[in-house]
Amino acid sequence: MKKNIKLFGLLALLAVIISACATPEKEEVLDMEKVKNEIQAMEDAYAAGEKAKDADAVAAYYSEDAISYSRNKQPLSGKAAIRKNIADSIAKDTTESYNVYKVVDLFAEGDIAVEIGSWTEFDSSGVEKENGNYMSYFKKQDGKYICIRDMSTTTSPVKSGM
């Protein structure tokens, strides 16, 4: 009996030593430059869609269950509502102005990325009309990031009567 207890103790000690020496699984290290380039490419495609007055190209940025928060408006829930708002804005816009979006800061881990960016609106001659900031929350789906939440602000003061 004593031999069995000693053998069991020895095996248990050996198991503890082996498990302590095992290397833990390494977490995937994100290539932040790659993530930043991917997100910036999405912002560039968004701006190109706006300039082309293509609501579908702009709405491709968003997941089906996205929520978009914008200044002086109720949040828009769902890709269909966001797309309709984009289409309505495009239909009302008779100017040749365009927007430029730029990744300012990026936080990413696993399948999640949060971008803090700046936007600038230019008239057709390239003169700045307005600017502001935004934050977008992305989740990787089917191998690519897609926006599930965003919020934007302007640096311009609120106009009276709004």
Query: According to the model, what pLDDT value does residue 75 have?
Result: 97
Mean pLDDT across 30-54:
96
CB atoms within 10 A of CB 118: 15
| pTM for this prediction | 0.79
Q: What is the mean pLDDT of residues 57-86?
A: 95
Mean pLDDT of 70-95: 93
The DSSP secondary structure of 80-138, one letter per residue, reads HHHHHHHHHHHHH--S--EEEEEEEEEEEETTEEEEEEEEEEE-TTS-EEEEEEEEEEE
Name the pairing type of β-strands 144-154 and 62-69.
Answer: parallel
Of 113, 120, 112, 111, which Cα lies nearest the Cα of 152? 120
How high is the pLDDT of residue 72?
Answer: 82
Residue 35's pLDDT band (cuts 50, 70, 90): very high
19, pLDDT greater than 70: no
pLDDT of residue 94: 86
Distance of CA 86 to CAs 7, 82, 90, 149, 162, Å?
A: 73, 6, 6, 16, 20
Domain boundaries, the chain: 29-154
Fold of the CATH domain 29-154: Nuclear Transport Factor 2; Chain: A, (3.10.450)
Predicted pLDDT at 156: 86
Q: Which residues pair with 69 in a beta bridge?
A: 151
pLDDT of residue 95: 87
**pLDDT at residue 16 above 60?**
no
Lowest-confidence segment of 4-18, 21-35, 52-66 by average pLDDT = 4-18
Q: What is the pLDDT of residue 23?
A: 56
Spatial neighbors of 144 by CB under 8 A, at least 6 apart, are: 38
Question: What are the tens digits of pLDDT across the range 89-146?
Answer: 999 988 889 999 999 999 999 999 999 999 999 999 999 999 999 999 999 999 999 9
